[in-house]
Amino acid sequence: METVELAFEQFGDPDDSALIILHGFFASSRNWRQIAQRLSDRFHVYAPDMRNHGASPNHPVMDYPVMAADLLRFIDDRGLETANLLGHSMGGKVAMWFALGLPARVNKLIVADIAPVSYKHSFDNTVLALKELPLDELSNRKQAETLLAPRIAELSYRQFLLQNLVLKDGKYCWRLDLDIFQRAAPNIAAFPDADHLAPFTGNALFIAGGDSDFVQPGDINSLFPKAAFSTIANAGHWLHVQQADAFAALVEDFLAPGWTQR
């Protein structure tokens, strides 16, 4: 299995215990700076860019086993015996697969608005909308946003996706390799077969947005029997943005040394 060296940002004191934040599909470490900075007063926070995202290398293979292998390389390269893992969406699936395969390397596990299941939704419309954007005709980012609107109705999601549009040598281009994303999208919506793996019996917290339907408690218990479950009201899938204070407070409470399941 060929791994890549992940680019990353880091916050806080290297002598503090490690917390690694794993972002979602189409995102990057930059989307987590606010949360990372808040948590850095108690943890040495690492926010890597997953393969094919942000400043990390592109690779034609993108699935959860290989991204978990990238994470293991990242942890080993930092000289960490264990780390706390916080993953959102795709990053949450990476964190879960890592914890199931290498439980001794995980201190505490936090999964944000995703479950260890294969979802039926498709990223086809999103990828095709981005691929069909006429980059040569763009003169500004607002124009790109307007052109995407008929295919991607939600303004906040358009703005999120357009963080991957960069100006290079006076022309707009995608930071992402959209061909790789198109091929890998089914892997991202899925979750690998875990029947051959023992459940993760360490401390785990699943946080769901109250307005999201991505997580059902019944989807969690068999693989994560000690998991606690919390819901944040007035938040959807992007709960760490929509209710940042409430989200960070739950994470801080769970990671506190004296935490006990309620």
Whether 237 sits among the annotated catalytic residues: the reply is yes
CA distance readout (Å), 8 to 17, 22, 40, 50, 136: 17, 10, 15, 9, 31
Pick the catalytic residue: 49, 56, 89, 240? 89
Pick the catalytic residue: 179, 213, 222, 253? 179
> What are the beta bridge partners of residue 88?
112
Tokens of 135: 């980059």
Pick the catalytic residue: 23, 44, 237, 240? 237
By C-alpha distance, which of 252, 10, 257, 260 is closest to 110? 252
Whether 89 sits among the annotated catalytic residues: the reply is yes
Q: Report yes or no: 75 and 102 within 8 Å, Cβ to Cβ.
A: no
Dihedral angle sign, alpha carbons of residues 139, 49, 176, 58: positive
Length of the chain: 262
Q: Report yes or no: 106 and 98 within 8 Å, Cβ to Cβ.
A: yes
The whole-angstrom distance between residue 207's C-alpha and the CA centroid of its chain comes to 13
In whole angstroms, give the CA distance from residue 259 to residue 230: 14
Number of Cβ atoms within 10 Å of the Cβ of 81? 10
In whole angstroms, give the CA distance from residue 116 to residue 134: 37
Exposed, middle or buried: residue 89 (CB in 10 Å: 0-12, 13-18, 19+)?
A: buried
Active-site residue list? 89, 179, 237
